[in-house]
Amino acid sequence: MNKIPAIIKNITASGGVVLVDLESDSCPLSTLLVDEDKLPEWLTIGASVSAAFKESELSLAVDLSGKISLRNKLPCTVKTINYGELLSIIQLTFGRHTIYSAITTRSVKALELKTGTKVTALIKANEISLMKSENGNR
């Protein structure tokens, strides 16, 4: 599970759906919480949180351009690639953080990934979970 620190910048709620805007290493992120009737006390604007997402939910793009519905676009650099027969694990550097993506080896080859390749990591808003920061609020 990937975890990166973030600060809550805005919270918008409507009909049991909550859109939380975050910032991590000067990069905007959003998460969508569904069926949330009551938010936990620690989920407030300005709070430090951890944004958590599975390696299998982190897609990669090279030379991404044009419009896309995903707001969560992390600029990353490939650090290492652990090739498997069908699935490969890509270690990425995002700002000061290390995150991982699990994609097919076929995709690694199609994207021509190698150490040092600049990529955009993409995450759907509903795939990011929020966790109370161990350091508390800033």
Domain holding 81: CATH number?
2.40.50.100
Number of domains in the chain: 1
Q: Does residue 95 form part of some domain?
A: yes
State which amino acid sits at residue 116: G
% of the chain at pLDDT higher than 70: 95
Q: 79-106: b or e for each residue (b if 16 or more CB lie within 10 Å)?
A: eebeeeeebbebbbebeeeebbbebeee
- Which domain covers residue 41, as residue numbers? 2-132
Torsions phi, psi for 124 (to 5 deg): -65, 145
Q: Are 3 and 52 in contact (CB under 8 A)?
A: yes
In a domain, 62, yes or no: yes
pLDDT level of residue 135 (50, 70, 90 thresholds): low
Domain membership of residue 54 (yes or no) is: yes
Which pLDDT does position 42 carry in this prediction?
86
CB-CB contact of 78 with 115 (8 Å): yes
Question: Would you say residue 97 lies in a domain?
Answer: yes
Tell me the whole-structure pTM to 2 decimals: 0.88
Taking only the tens place, the pLDDT of each residue in 74-130 is: 999 999 999 999 999 999 999 999 999 999 999 999 999 999 999 999 999 999 999
The per-residue pLDDT for 108 is: 97
